[in-house]
Amino acid sequence: MLTKKNNATEEKLDFSTFKQGLDFEFNYLSSYVTLMGTSVSEKVDEYEERIFSDIDSSSEGTEIDEDFYHEASKIKSYFYNSLIVMVYTVYESTLNKICIQVNSKVKSKLDHEILKDRNVSKKFLTYLNIIADIDFQKDKASYDRICEFQSLRNQIAHSNSTVKGKNINDKKKNANALLVTFNRGCAENEEKNIIVNEQTWDFYVNKIDLIVEFIQVVKEYLYSLINDLESKTFIVSVD
């Protein structure tokens, strides 16, 4: 938190315009995901029907059924996996904009870009903690869930949507952790959010529900941060 100085004034942050823009962005993002998710599901269903029809008429159908099933189902991942990356990008970009907004108002000599952290979003949150005494883990459930989605995003973006491990046991352990983390809440007989192919060890997001959850938790978490910032009083030097 900034300390009081001579020739200084007390200032409050006003994010009203910023929040209007954020509302528009998240409403558009949610609408886009829902609309495109419906279209993708319909096209995949059509594709699966055609594939399984071909399998039924093939003399080798019983042997290739599982492979074809994975290939058909993976098509959704080309869209869904990329959406995980996109939503995280929105999250990280918005944190950056919040930091810029804060610094332009409080006129601190400490710029968020000066901080060093390979975890870019954590760097932005650390900056807000230093400048405004923001406890970014106050809503620990939301923060932890975003961290889980961040790990998923990293595996998609940096590991080509593949479960990593030095050996089969490591891969099975990591795959199980992935499934437990993102299939919680799915009924036993319900379609799962995440599917892992244990022949190739690639994984894919299987349901749009996971994207919708990610958008919602990011939105709520960002608004909570902004509300905390608006509640603070800053001591700003007068030129």
Please give the pLDDT value at position 81: 92
Report the pLDDT value the prediction gives residue 114, as an integer from 0 to 100: 74
Is 17 a member of any domain?
yes
Number of domains the chain contains = 1
Q: Indicate whether 35 belongs to any domain.
A: yes
Entry pTM: 0.84
Q: What confidence tens digit (pLDDT) does each residue in 46-58 have?
A: 766 776 666 566 6
Residue 202 in domain: yes
Q: What residues contact residue 237 under an 8 Å CB cut-off, 6+ apart?
A: 5, 7, 8, 107
Q: Does the pLDDT value for residue 59 go beyond 60? A: no
Let me know if residue 22 belongs to a domain: yes
Determine, yes or no, domain membership for 137. Answer: yes
SS3 111: coil
Q: Please state, in angstroms and rounded to a whole number, the distance separating the CA atoms of residues 94 and 81.
A: 21
How many Å apart are CA 62 and CA 14, to the nearest integer?
Answer: 64
> Using CA atoms, how far apart are residues 136 and 224, in angstroms rounded to an integer?
9
Domain that holds residue 232: 9-237
Domain assignment present for 77:
yes
Characterize 51-89 residue by residue with b for buried, 16 or more Cβ atoms within 10 angstroms of its Cβ, and e for exposed. beeebeeeeeeeeeeeebeeebbbebbebbbebbebbbe
Pairing state between β 202-205 and 194-197? antiparallel
Tell whether 3 is covered by a domain: no
| Cα–Cα nearest to 179, from 159, 156, 203 | 203
Read off the pLDDT band of 1 (50, 70, 90).
very low
What is the rounded average pLDDT for all residues in the chain? 85
CB 220, CB 91: distance < 8 Å: no
**Does some domain include residue 2?**
no
Q: What CA–CA distance (Å, rounded) separates 173 from 169?
A: 6
